Amino acid sequence: MSEIPGDLKFLKTHEWARVEGDGKVTVGISDHAQGLLGDLVYVELPQVGDRVEAGNACAVVESVKAASDVYAPVSGKVVAVNSALSDKPETINEDAFGEGWLFQLEIEDAEQLNELLEPDDYAEQLDDDH
């Protein structure tokens, strides 16, 4: 299992959020999640300008095995999407915590970040799952 970056926060459903420091939050799925899904073949991203609600499905990642909803870790407005994933969804498999990011939000309520799991807690949850 790959190292979990210390600057990320997580949902129990394997999404990660990285606070960029300018009121923006980058969102992706964890390395563990891409490993469970297998080779990704399709990604459906929200539109720039969409408002997403914390805990609601806002994107879909599809592998040869299954389609999986991606949930928003925090509420906010989508300000950027990783359109490169349309042509290369496997980027998520190769670099889930880096180049494989899904979208970026302008966060509405920074307090919501406190409800997310810290990397250690997320790692602990993964251990508990096995």
Looking up tokens 């906010």, which residue turns up? Answer: 76
**Residue whose C-alpha is closest to residue 8's, from 109, 113, 81:** 113
CB of 38 within 8 A of CB of 65? yes
End-to-end Cα, the chain, rounded Å: 13
Residue-wise pLDDT for 22-57, tens only, equals: 999 999 999 999 999 999 999 999 999 999 999 999
**Percent of the chain's residues with pLDDT above 90:** 90
pLDDT of the residue at 128: 83
**Residue whose C-alpha is closest to residue 102's, from 37, 25, 41, 39:** 25
> What is the spatial distance between Cα 30 and Cα 17, in angstroms, rounded to a whole number?
10
pLDDT of the residue at 2: 60
CB of 26 within 8 A of CB of 20? yes
pLDDT of the residue at 130: 60
Ranges 1-5, 75-79, 102-106: which has the least confidence: 1-5
Query: SS3 of 59, please?
Result: strand
Confidence of residue 3 (pLDDT cuts 50, 70, 90): confident
Residue-wise pLDDT for 14-26, tens only, equals: 999 999 989 999 9
Work out whether strand 51-52 and strand 67-71 pair parallel, antiparallel, or are unpaired.
unpaired
Residue-wise pLDDT for 79-89, tens only, equals: 999 999 999 99
Mean pLDDT of the chain: 95
